[in-house]
Amino acid sequence: MSKVIAVFGAGTGLGVSVARRFGREGFRVALVARRRDRLDGLVERLAGEGIEAAAFSADLSKPAEMPALVAAIRDRFGRIDAIEYGPISGDQGFTAATRLDAATLEDLIPLLLLTPVEVVRAVLPEWTERGDGAFLLTQGYSAAQPIPHLSGVGPVMAATRNYLYSLNGELADTGVYAGTLTIGALIERSEMAELAVANVEPLANFPVVDPDDLAEHYWDMYTKRDRVERFHPEPPAPQTTAG
């Protein structure tokens, strides 16, 4: 039986590129997002490329619904071998730290922290029993490096990054991998890139990356499993001074 990747937060940017990259390796694809019409279009596009895919409409801000969603994907495909979780969109805007409040963080926590934890809980028994599986988390640079005026999502993603690092260490030597791709760029064909085009500062000054290049990073992480985190673009090397 061929392997299956579930793309949580599938869209026209990174999501479809990940689906296509893994699909070229024989993976079947579960696409998960809120908008069923967009998902159906992506399924049709992938089918035209010879990739088997199915759409699962779900609200990823509702962590309690994740066990049933994972069960539905497993019922459809018979298994789940990898998950890419990256539902960031224009709905999760940035907030300056000076204007940040508890209500804003409470709105972000389910999607960016609680739901990925519940997704992992739902698939981990299958993966540990099989001795194989991969959870691939997509995050922005502000999770690792705070950026003025781009707070809000950053503190919540930082908590998820902390969890991911612990998960990676605890799963060492089990055959199950957890890794994160931390992106410091706008992704072509994504909603966030569209915001930048609309002159949303300071996003307009960010570099732009082809999602196919990011999907290639994910395939490399999935196959090698030799690092917990990869940055794109890679941060500059620390400067040293002569003694």
Q: pLDDT of 99-157, one tens digit each?
A: 999 999 999 999 999 999 999 999 999 999 999 999 999 999 999 998 888 888 999 99
Residue pLDDT, tens place only, 20-45? 999 999 999 999 999 899 999 999 99
Per-residue model confidence (pLDDT) at position 242: 44
Whether omega for the bond prior to residue 202 falls within 30 degrees of 0, making it cis, is yes
pLDDT at 213 over 60: yes
**At 191, is the pLDDT very low, low, confident or very high (cuts 50, 70, 90)?**
low
| Structure-block tokens of residue 234 | 């890679």
Please give the C-alpha separations between residue 184 and each of 2, 62, 229, in angstroms, as whole numbers.
33, 27, 13
Per-residue model confidence (pLDDT) at position 239: 44
**At 187, is the pLDDT very low, low, confident or very high (cuts 50, 70, 90)?**
confident
Q: Give percent of the chain above pLDDT 70.
A: 88
* Architecture of the domain spanning 4-229: 3-Layer(aba) Sandwich (3.40)
Mean pLDDT, rounded, of the chain: 90
pLDDT at 233 over 90: no
Per-residue model confidence (pLDDT) at position 201: 54
Terminal CA-CA length for the chain: 60
**At 236, is the pLDDT very low, low, confident or very high (cuts 50, 70, 90)?**
low
**At 93, is the pLDDT very low, low, confident or very high (cuts 50, 70, 90)?**
confident
As a whole number, mean pLDDT of residues 61-69 equals 98
